[in-house]
Amino acid sequence: MTRLSDDSPVPLYLQIEEELRTLIESGKLSHLAKVPSENQLADQFGVSRMTARKALDRLVAEDVMFRRPGKGTFVGLAKIAYRPTQLLSFSAAMNAQGVQHSTRVLESGMLHAQGNIARALGLSPGARVILVRRLRLVDDEPAVIHTSFLPAQYAAVLQGDLTGSLTELMISAGARVTYTNDSVESVLASGDIARLLHVRIGAPLVIISGVAYSQEMNAVRYSEGIYRGDRFRFRVDTRGGDITSLPDLRMERKHDGDEDSKRLTPSGDS
C-alpha cells in the first residue's frame, strides 16, 4: 500500500480512505472481498487504530463497504448507473450495461382501483385496473421492487411473460409510452420492504414513481420503483433550452397506516 504523507494537508484517515477506494476501483480489492482489519491497517499505515477505524467507518457509511459482526469488514457490491425515470425499461437498461438480472413476480391480476390510483390514471373510482408487482434481482440479489397499475384495456399483458420487460408487453397490448412525469424521493427501509430487498431496517432506499403517457397524453401506467440505495447510482442528463410548460403532476406520499400499503396521490389531493 502507498505510504501516507505526514506533510499533506489531507488528514491521515482520508488518505487511507482514498487508498482503499483506489484498491477497489483497480480490482485489487474485489467486491465482497474481506478488507484488512483496523489493527492490520494501523500497522500497515503506521497510524493509530482509531485513525484506521475512522477511514473504514466512512466507507461503511457510504455503503462502499459493509460489516458482518464477528467476521470483519467486506467490500460492497458495485453500484449500477441508472437514470431516475420510469420511461426506461429496467430490463433494457440492465442489458445495455451487461448486468445480470432476473425477475420474480410477487403479485399480478385485476383489482378495483383506489381513488388515488384511479385519479393518477384518469379513471373513475373503483374502475378495474391491472396490478403487476415484481421483485427485480441483480446478480441474484434483490435490488428493486416495481409495482405498476395499468388500465383494464391492456389486460393482454397478463397473458405475457411478466418476468421479462413490461414495457415490451405494453407495446404489444397497444400502450406505447412516450412521456413520463416522475418524482424521486429517499426513504428508509421498514417492514416487508426490508425483508423483500434483503436490507436492514432503516437502510436507505430511493423511490421513483410517476405516471406514463401515450403519444396522445393518455395515462397508460402508474408505477412505483423502490431501489436499494447501496446498489444504484442515479444519473441525470440535462441540456440547455426552453422549459416546456407541463401540468403539475407531482406526487405526494399518502399515509394509510401501514408503510407497505402507502400509495402516491397527485399533489393537492387529500
As a whole number, mean pLDDT of residues 170-195 equals: 91
Residue 232's pLDDT is 76
**Higher pLDDT pick, 85 / 226:** 226
Map out the domains of the chain with their CATH numbers.
Answer: 12-75 (1.10.10.10), 80-237+248-266 (3.40.1410.10)
The residues, any chain, with a CB within 8 Å of residue 77's CB and separated by 6 or more, are 31, 32, 139, 141, 230, 231
- Between 107 and 25, residue with greater pLDDT: 107
Residue 72 or 7, more confident: 72
pLDDT surpassing 80 at residue 266: no
d(CA 75, CA 77): 7
| pLDDT, tens only, 109-119 | 999 998 889 99
Q: In a 10 Å sphere around its CB, with 0-12 CB exposed, 13-18 middle and 19+ buried, how is residue 86 labelled?
A: buried
Q: What is the pLDDT of residues 71-124, one digit of tens each?
A: 999 887 766 665 665 566 776 666 666 777 799 999 999 999 988 899 999 999
Residues 48, 42: Cα–Cα separation, whole Å = 6
Q: Flag whether pLDDT at 234 surpasses 80.
A: no
8: which 3 cell numbers?
A: 499533506
Long-range CB contacts (< 8 A, 24+ apart) of 105-113?
105/132, 105/133, 105/134, 105/162, 105/163, 106/133, 106/134, 106/135, 106/145, 106/196, 107/131, 107/132, 107/133, 108/132, 108/133, 108/158, 108/162, 109/158, 110/152, 110/155, 110/158, 113/149
Q: Is the model's pLDDT at 160 over the cut of 90?
A: yes
Q: What is the DSSP string of 85-128?
A: -TTS-HHHHHHHTT--EEEEEEEEEEEEPPHHHHHHHT--TT-E
* Residue 252 pLDDT greater than 50, yes or no: no
**Average per-residue pLDDT for the chain:** 82
Evaluate if residue 251 carries a pLDDT over 50.
Answer: no
Say what the pTM is.
Answer: 0.64
pLDDT over 90 at 155, yes or no = yes
Q: Evaluate whether 222 touches 211 at the Cβ level (below 8 Å).
A: yes
Least confident of 13-27, 85-99, 148-162, 194-208: 85-99
Averaged pLDDT for residues 18-30: 86
> What amino acid occupies position 156?
A
- The continuous run of DSSP H or E covering 65 comes out as strand 65-68
pLDDT of residue 79: 66
